[in-house]
Chain A
Amino acid sequence: MSGQPNLLEKIVAFVDERVGLKTIQAKMLNEPVPGGSRWAYVFGSVLLFIFIMQAVTGILLMFYYVPSADHAYASTQYIIHEVDYGWFLLSYHFWGSSAMVVMVFAHMSQVFLWGAYKSPREMIWLVGLALFGIVMAFGFTGYLLPWDQRAYWATTVGVEIMDKTPIVGDFMARFLKGGATPGQMTLSRFFVIHVMILPAMLMGLAGLHIFLFRKAGPAGPFRGTADELKAKTDYFFPRQVWKDMVAMAAVFVTICSLAFIEPVVLLEEATPDPGDYHPEPEWYFLFLFQLLRLKIFSGEFGQFLGAIAIPGAFMALLAALPFIDRNPERNIFKRPVALIGWILVMTGILVFTVSAIINREFLD
């Protein structure tokens, strides 16, 4: 009976006839990559992988975590010290968030350097910027949930910074905190934002991001004639998928290793008296934190400048980028302003982050 389909094949054929699985699968995998697959293109897929793992570990953490001011700290300690592998899942979630931020920077840099934000891909870039904001908001809201001193003070200072927005700042800060000072209401709000609102926004916008990407098609390399590109073109599957898988595995091993080497340890339970603790945000906000130590950002206006105006103007510049930069040239070596700008921003972030770390010693 070799010619007869078996039961499994019959089921697959039944579903395929009604859903069109094979067509969908073919459409997903047969995406022409102009100029061929590259390691430089892995970051988007890696981000999707990290997000899925954050969702999985985050859901698992919620089995024990209680978002209340009198139980958040104890339940997190319980996850770390009592629940089997709780320390690992929590540490994976913690380091996963850092990996997310690193990969977002890598992804944005790649798109920027390759000139892939240019027409007709402006919308993909804009949605990507919104996703960047969501990733940072994830980091900020998630940081409060363990309810230790580090969490409490990062939130206190972070929300005070938001408070400096003209006109709506006070309302926004009180709205987020659920009052004048951080407390139970803040924890409830950050929790619902972190586990419901941001994931929903991220899933929706990431879907739109990928949809727009598939609609415009990959930009491909920034040099090479049409014939050269055509000769090297392959499909998303299997070569690019293979490269993506290797990158995901490398990121997975790195996050696991960090979770083992440097597992999450909580400080004292959150309270409005910092004791000996020197408040500091998570490392990817350090440069902003250090920026606000500068003399030019002192006083009420200086603070507005450093905390709101400059970061806001920078984000606005990024959003306007594809509309300002209408030159179709994509080769980064023929775009000196873009190249120097990127180097300056990255160096600036690096210098401010390192000086914030050096400053720690001066404080102890």
Chain B
Amino acid sequence: MHQPRLKSKVRCTDREVGEITHVIVDPLSREVSHIVVGGNGAAGRQVPMSEVQSVAENLVQLRSASSALAQFPPLKRDEFVTTHEVEIAHLEDHLHVEAGEVLVPLPSLERNVPRRTFFTNLTHAIGALVALPMAFPVLKYLMKPMYSPFDNAWLKIGNVSRIKADDVGVQFKYKKKVKEAFMPEAEVDKNVWILKASPAVLEDVYKGKDMEFHDQNGQLVWTNKKDVPYVVFSGKCPHLGCGYKWRKVPKLGKEIFLCPCHLSIYDPAGKVLDGPAPRPLDPLPIRVDAGGNIQIIDMEFKAGTKAQTRIV
């Protein structure tokens, strides 16, 4: 069945009774629920769609006689709003109540369809021509500080006289000068853990081999000799990079390294006893002179990986 149109004539079984002055839509079903039949100055009547027998091009046929029209409620306009004032989702998909299609002529210059396609493609091409040459410079611009050479300078961080017992972690705090991009040189606080290792612990750390440290091009920077008893561990937890502590754990009855972040526990040799860490603590290059002064190279390694990858 057609949808009833505005201005259509309305016929009852016996005679024509007027025309459609309004169409009422159910906002939930989005279907036409009533037509309003009026005209000739009379108040419109709300006729439900169930009363409509058929809808032709410009004529709506009702099932009832004209005498029955008065039983339908009159339209009270202020009980309704227009669809311009209320948002009914997808109303236009359901309704075709306009008196006819509204047409606007396409300008004659616009009727050449292949040319329109050409211009669409040209627009995209010019857009790409602007965007593509920008992509690489922008990426390089943003990547500028991402990869910088390693710093292999030796830092003086204290004296071994602070270490009183074997296999006990002693924290050495020190200042490191950093010069980042345009910033003035600044000092940041850092720390490492140093222990004087007993032969057994030393064996656990070095596994009987000297330990080599390399620059990013693979060049050898320093070798920790396996018989030097002073071992220095980077202060950065190899799990996710927090700072760990030397702690007495009553449950274990001994002292260990504990990271408070995700509760990784390491023995004095840096071996993982418990917790989520994927590898032992990272030893750093250390040298101790005759006077007991300690120097280290402040390296950092990527956290969270099984393999040890230097990043600073």
Cβ of B181 < 8 Å from any Cβ of A? yes
Q: Say whether B277 faces chain A, with CB atoms less than 8 Å apart.
A: yes
Cα–Cα distance between A235 and B81 once the two chains are bound (Å): 12
Decide if B183 touches A153 in the complex (CB within 8 Å). Answer: no
B277 near A31 (CB under 8 angstroms)?
no
Closest to B277 in A: A298
Determine if A156 is an interface residue (Cβ-Cβ < 8 Å): yes
Which residue of B has the minimal Cβ distance to A220?
A: B28
- B87 pairs with A34, CB closer than 8 A: no
* A184 CB-CB contact with B under 8 Å: yes
Q: Which residues of A contact B221 (CB under 8 A)?
A: none
Q: A31-B86, A179-B145 are in contact. Are A185 and B181 (CB under 8 A)?
A: yes
When the two chains form their complex, are residues B189 and A230 in contact, meaning their CB atoms are under 8 A apart? no
Q: Which residue of B lies closest to A214 (CB)?
A: B87
Would you give the 0/1 interface string for B167-191, flagging 1 where the beta carbon is closer than 8 Å to chain A?
0000001000010110110101111
Does A163 lie within 8 Å of B28, measured CB to CB? Answer: no
Cβ of A294: which chain B residues have Cβ within 8 Å of it?
Answer: 276
Report if A180-B143 is in contact (Cβ < 8 Å); known contacts: A156-B241, A299-B306. no
Whether A34 and B28, one on each chain, are in contact in the complex, defined by CB atoms closer than 8 angstroms, is yes
Number of chain A residues close to chain B: CB under 8 A: 58
Residue from A34, A170, A171, A278 within 8 A of B261 (CB atoms): A278
Q: Is the CB of A30 within 8 A of B305?
A: no
Q: Report the minimum CB–CB distance from A182 to chain B (whole Å).
A: 9
Encode B301-312 as 1/0 by CB contact (under 8 A) with A.
011111000011
Given contacts A214-B89, A279-B261, contact A271 B178 (CB under 8 A): no
| Chain A residues within 8 Å of B73, by CB | none
Contact B305 A70 (CB under 8 A): no
B292 close to A (CB within 8 Å): no
Partner of A32, one of B86, B148, B278: B86
B153 adjacent to chain A (CB < 8 Å): no
- B260, CB-defined interface residue at 8 Å: yes
The reply to whether B178 and A183 contact each other, CB–CB distance below 8 Å, is yes
Contact with B along A194-234 (1 / 0, CB 8 A): 00000000000000000000111100000000100110010
Q: How far is the CB of A161 from chain B (nearest CB, A)?
A: 7
- Which has the most chain A C-beta neighbours within 10 Å: B173, B300, B303? B303
Q: Give the chain B neighbours of A70 by CB distance below 8 A.
A: 183-184, 186
Min CB–CB distance A37 → chain B (angstroms): 15
CB of A262 to closest CB in B, whole Å:
23
Contacts of B300 in A (CB 8 A): 180-181
The A275-298 residues at the B interface (CB cut-off 8 A) are 275, 278-280, 289, 292-295, 297-298
Chain B residue contacts of A163, Cβ below 8 A: 302-304
Q: Which of B85, B146, B304 contacts A160 (CB 8 A)?
A: B304
Give A182's nearest chain B residue, CB to CB: B241
Residues on the A chain within 8 Å of B242, using CB: 153, 156-157, 274, 279
Closest residue of B by beta carbon distance from A273: B189
Question: At the interface, yes or no: A53 with Cβ under 8 Å from chain B?
Answer: no
The answer to whether A233 and B27 touch across the interface, beta carbons within 8 angstroms, is yes
B236 (CB) vs chain A CBs: closest residue: A272
B207 at interface, CB cutoff 8 A:
no
Which B residues are in CB contact (< 8 Å) with A275?
189, 243
**Across the interface, which residues of A come within 8 angstroms of B199, CB to CB?**
none
Interface residue B116 (Cβ < 8 Å from any Cβ of A) = no
17 residue pairs A–B, Cβ–Cβ below 8 Å: A32-B28, A163-B302, A175-B143, A180-B300, A180-B311, A180-B312, A184-B183, A214-B87, A229-B28, A272-B189, A274-B242, A274-B243, A278-B261, A289-B261, A292-B276, A303-B276, A303-B304
Point out residues on B near A: beta carbons under 8 Å: 26-29, 81, 84-90, 142-143, 145-148, 173, 178, 180-181, 183-184, 186, 188-191, 235-236, 239-243, 260-263, 275-278, 300, 302-306, 311-312
Given A68-B183, A156-B241, A179-B146, 5 more pairs with CB closer than 8 A: A27-B85, A32-B86, A272-B190, A298-B277, A302-B276
